[in-house]
Structure 1
């Protein structure tokens, strides 16, 4: 029963901090029938847990002790007392949860700049629709987690004056040619050559979704999505859309099926 001689001072000498970690270690050695373990072996084991806690997080015996040595972001990264200012587009429509998440991100010591888009809503690491710029750091968790959300932009060979001159007509096109919600289907689905592709016959899972795809073509799905008309200014001769410099009528995020003619260019940023 050599471990009965193990004391808090022995653990402090191997780097155990004052408090809960020492208490847990001594309790586990006492309560888990480990008293036959000699003092040297017990200290060696406790030191391994301190140096590599992740290796013991799935061990039911040592899990609670290992957690004491896993770095706590809240404890190790101090937030700035002031919230760095950031841009908010469509602020009146942004939910409070998204604002609070972004406020916290703007207090990180590595934060340089940030912004919230009009469709921002609460996510996990960051709001969905939130943008964060940081200094010399990579934050895998610093994204607004969602499934398949993206923006699309279609530019049409129509004068930008249409936006003001034919507002009601453009509004009607949006109402007639897009739907929101997983169960919102088109009464008269749009035919498209994509449904003639061999994948709809050769791949079972795709074959089973063909009818749903026909009914939902052009829809925006469920969630906090939007579609709108606008004007795009192309100012650089060398641009991603490969268009001449000028102003163009554009639709985002759908391609606006049923518009007078197909778009000049469409782009889906990732």
Structure 2
């Protein structure tokens, strides 16, 4: 591995052109790097602040930073050093066309956000899934391929590697009625929801043996939080639920057609992923200045330290999110004294290094979109009272090998509280025989699009091989702030 060094070109990018000043900055910066007192990114950020606010670095001790600040002030007074403005990067004038699946189901705000994303100078191709709705930066349900060396934290999302996990048991599906109290009790005992939710009992903590937890200061600082939250679920649209899985004729994944008891969960990387997202989104926006409408689409360069750090953290968040689901499913399987016949999972809110059909290497961001390459299994949920679907991807290039990650919101959370009727929600759950633990009006079935219409709009993208009907659903308490 080559020795990490702060190059003259990186210092020149801060506006340092004078040969002596460049040498002095390089000496101080690389000595700090050698002493391992700060990371390369932290040193560059400190130098950038020193240039913009030199007087704050002047001290009586006249240390190395103070000396640099004095030089900057002296040269600036002589008109020899002017900090360059962090110039705004212009967007491409033309909005490239992108395929829209189920355009009749997609709000204008999501379409506008996708159009802006396609104007980024690093964008290659994009696509919009039928569950799409407005979010931060890239719309939820948006798929964006950028140049291979770029990654956009807000195009990945705040809940990094949010995922679905399905355990299928060799048990009759009518247990959801016959053993309802027992199954409900298992959810209450073996799941934890909420922003600050933690658990002291674990099934498998081997993920925390990985050296990756020591890779960066940001990761190290969040390790204890991640450990405490292992095996817990978030708020908002995150859930763990029992239901009836109908495996359809013609499926090819080693289960005969029929009805099975199944456990389905949806959540992500908890506070660990959220803090990673917020930290590196700010770094990206500081480094990559974009017009106001695109500011949340700021990218990191994977050839730079910040980009490398985010890449390591994002992938660790993916492993962590999977471990969270496995904790829940394994605890419940152990309590039932039954191993599942099959466990299937997939994630969204992630970025993958992939190659387009024409051979172009790209970074594919799927923010609320399910990987749907040829033969790839995925899970697309509906709402708490409508079915979800186990699907097999068809590998459609125009969709960038993707599909929706759910039904998608029909209305905002505020609109749900303003317009929905609690009595009608209760009647819907009663009619569908849904036992609900937690949740509130903003997660009501009526707040979501028609899952059947969404699936119809993407019939070219995926094949349905099983249908899951929720029956006993646990979500966060109504008082919890949504974090999805």
- Which category describes the TM-score, using the shorter chain as reference length? 0.3 to 0.5
TM-score (normalizing by structure 2): 0.29
Structure in which a larger fraction of residues adopt helix: 2
TM-score (normalizing by structure 1): 0.48
Query: Which structure has the larger Rg over C-alpha atoms?
Result: 1
Higher relative contact order (CA 8 A, sep 6+): 2
